[in-house]
Amino acid sequence: MNKFIKGNKIFTTKFAENQKLYHDLVENGQHPKVLWVGCSDSRVVPEFIVNANAGDLFVMRNIANIIPPKTANESCTSSALEYAVLHLKVEHIVICGHTGCGGIDTLLKGVPQDSTIADWLQYACSAVKNCDENDDLLLATIKQNILTQVTHLLTFGFVQNRLEKLKIHKWLYDMNSGEISFFDDNSQDWKMFDYSK
């Protein structure tokens, strides 16, 4: 752990250099415009991949970037969602999956039924059923899971009630390139961002 203790020392230098930002966040509270729902995978760090600062993203991470539907009564995720939508009044929700997701791979290969991971991954099961078997099954399921979690998101009344002020983004992070693609609702297909804009 020494690496991280020394890391905190390094961070205090950066903290001092960005004192205005950090003090503003203390004095005026957090006002992130984005709720980020991502995977716990250590290789997919939200703040790194979109070059975000402290205070930019309200982050919920779990295995396979899942939001269980309202009927599941999973208060860990629903409370974070409720806080972000009703209290922070975020304007965007990003559900970001990633290539090579171990959670989805486990789902496809079969999880031991006495595992808590199996309990959790049940909320991604419908993504498997909706995949075309001719595709790269892992990647197709990862993509479908992002769409599945958006349908779960919409089971919450407080999300439905704010849809006019809330934009939902379906993103996929490519661990090989660092790039993010998005699901385009109009063409019903995944597209790359035009970085020139």
Torsion sign across C-alpha atoms 68, 141, 179, 8: positive
Residue 44 vs 81, nearer CB to Zn ion: 44
d(CA 127, CA 147): 8
Q: How far is the CB of 64 from Zn ion (least distance, A)?
A: 5
Tell me whether residue 39 or residue 131 sits nearer to Zn ion (CB atom).
39
Is the CB of residue 5 less than 8 Å from the CB of residue 28? Answer: no
As a whole number of angstroms, the distance between CA 135 and CA 54 comes to: 38
Stretch that binds Zn ion, among 7-15, 67-75, 96-104, 106-114 (CB under 5 A): 96-104
Residue choice 34, 60, 90, 101 for contact with Zn ion (CB under 5 A): 101
Taking the least distance from each CB to Zn ion, the nearer of 64 and 85 is 64
Distance CA 119, CA 121 (A): 6
Q: Which residues contact 131 (CB under 8 A, 6 or more apart)?
A: 137, 140, 141, 144
Site string for Zn ion, 25-44 (x = CB under 5 A): --------------x-x---
Contact map string, positions 38 to 77, toward Zn ion, x by CB under 5 A: -x-x------------------------------------
User: Which positions lie near Zn ion, rule CB under 5 A?
Assistant: 39, 41, 101, 103
